[in-house]
DNA sequence: AGATACATGTAACATGTTACATGATTTA
DNA sequence: TAAATCATGTAACATGTTACATGTATCT
């Protein structure tokens, strides 16, 4: 389980509450490994119960500050050194590219163009974030910078790829688009379909 | 749910059995969106029960061939056109970079170098795959090529980034490595920890 | 006093993984 | 005939999401 070790990893840098950790996920770590509020609090309880974390302080409003203890440090090292990472990120954006044949060319082109624009936006955001962060010299800063650089390169690459791909898809031919172009009437609400 | 739509998307290209689909995941699609055998068969049953797929043929050894029907086609289009993709891939590899502060510099450098090597290997594999595929002119070929190109660029970028990052981490200073360098004895098996 | 930010917890549900269980057909 | 490949299904468990539920401290 990665969330567990993500938590241990961030706590290696110093004690923090669930709320603090949630902010880390929202602002930086969440770009590589998202986590919900519910998940973080549940997992912190479990980690404390399992003896990998200590509650090192309790503050106002029920705040609990967790600290990595020796058992936690060992488990974190064990995970980093002895387990093989999953190298392939799971990318919904790319899955969609794969099945773009279900759309007309114009629609497919539009999607890829949107991906490119999103990538450009992410790049802008990252450059903005970079200039706003105080890069003090601690461990998290060093490795945070590595991840940020990866992000910058990733979004730049994605933007360029999207430009290339849009050209590759080419112009819509009149009357093209296969049968999928005619959206027929009856939608026959299925038992599935949930997301917005 | 994306697996559901991945299945519909592949079936847009033509009828296939669970076994066939599993091969698609293993050979190509699985790089962007992994799926297990168990998941695929379960989901196909559900999709058929929900009326988005038909069992269009039954063959030897209990083989069932599924076809996308009109309801399925509509649902696929709806998903592609009306739902927003999750743009951030969840990357365990990058999560690990983020928490590399728990290791010594030498260990961190080794990990990043390994990532670079893996990326290089993926690149080689993709180029090999590319030359072995017959690029006929159907829809899947067009979009499959887009995904393949993305992969090539991604792994090349990752390889370059890793080279840069290795230099960035720098040389191990003697006696450096923080407290995390001393692996103490007692391992105190925790109730957690599962993966090998 | 009201809005915002701080702060945690849990229940229901959806999705994903691992392991088990079974058997038929083809190929060497 | 043994091994490999084809072919599906299910149960137990782990992980992740959404929604609900509750309350405190700070700032304007």
pLDDT value, residue A129: 87
**Scanning the structure block, which residue is given the tokens 């695929």?**
B40
Q: Which of A48, A94, A133 to mutate to test the interface with B (most CBs of B within 10 A)?
A: A94
Strand intervals (E) in chain B: 16-17, 53-58, 64-68
Q: What pLDDT digit, counting tens, does each position of A83-93 carry?
A: 999 988 999 99
pLDDT value, residue B176: 55
Instruction: Please count the residues of chain A.
Output: 196
Instruction: Please count the residues of chain B.
Output: 196
Whether nucleic acid strand C comes within 7 Å of the CB of A20, the answer is yes
Q: What is the mean pLDDT of residues A157-173?
A: 91
CB B154 within 8 Å of CB A157: yes
Q: Indicate the pTM of the whole model.
A: 0.89
Rg of chain A, C-alpha, whole Å: 22
**Measured distance CA(B191)–CA(A49) in Å, rounded:** 9
- Neighbouring C-beta atoms of residue B159, cutoff 10 Å: 19
CA of B37 to C1' of D11 (A): 15
pLDDT tens, N- to C-terminus, chain B (196 residues) = 899 999 999 999 999 999 999 999 999 999 999 999 999 999 999 999 999 999 999 999 999 999 999 999 999 999 999 999 998 899 999 999 999 999 999 999 999 999 999 999 999 999 988 888 777 666 667 899 999 999 999 999 999 999 999 999 987 655 554 444 444 434 444 444 434 3
pLDDT value, residue A132: 82
Picking from B52, B83, B90, the nearest residue to A90 by CB comes out as B90
Q: Which long-range contacts (CB under 8 A, 24 or more apart) does B135-139 make?
A: B138/A101, B138/B13, B139/A101, B139/A178, B139/B12, B139/B13
Q: What pLDDT digit, counting tens, does each position of A62-110 carry?
A: 999 999 999 999 999 999 999 999 988 999 999 999 999 999 999 999 9
**Measured distance CA(A193)–CA(A185) in Å, rounded:** 18
Q: What pLDDT digit, counting tens, does each position of B43-81 carry?
A: 999 999 999 999 999 999 999 999 999 999 999 999 999
């Amino acid at each position: 389980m990665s969330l567990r070790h993500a938590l241990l990893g961030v706590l290696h840098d110093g004690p923090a509450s669930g709320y603090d950790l949630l902010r880390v996920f929202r602002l930086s770590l969440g770009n590589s490994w998202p986590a919900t509020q519910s998940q973080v609090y549940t997992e912190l309880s479990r980690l404390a119960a399992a003896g990998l974390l200590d509650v090192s302080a309790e503050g106002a409003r029920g705040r609990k500050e967790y600290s990595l203890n020796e058992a936690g440090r060992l488990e974190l090292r064990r995970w980093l050194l002895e387990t093989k990472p999953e190298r392939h990120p799971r990318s919904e954006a790319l899955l969609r590219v794969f099945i773009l044949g279900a759309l007309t060319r114009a629609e497919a082109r539009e999607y890829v163009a949107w991906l490119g624009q999103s990538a450009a936006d992410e790049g802008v955001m990252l450059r903005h974030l970079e200039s706003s962060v105080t890069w003090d010299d601690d461990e998290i800063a060093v490795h945070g910078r590595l991840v940020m650089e990866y992000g910058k390169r990733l979004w730049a690459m994605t933007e360029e790829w999207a430009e290339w791909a849009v050209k590759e898809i080419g112009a819509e031919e009149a009357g093209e688009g296969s049968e999928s172009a005619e959206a027929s009437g009856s939608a026959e609400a299925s038992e599935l379909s949930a997301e917005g």
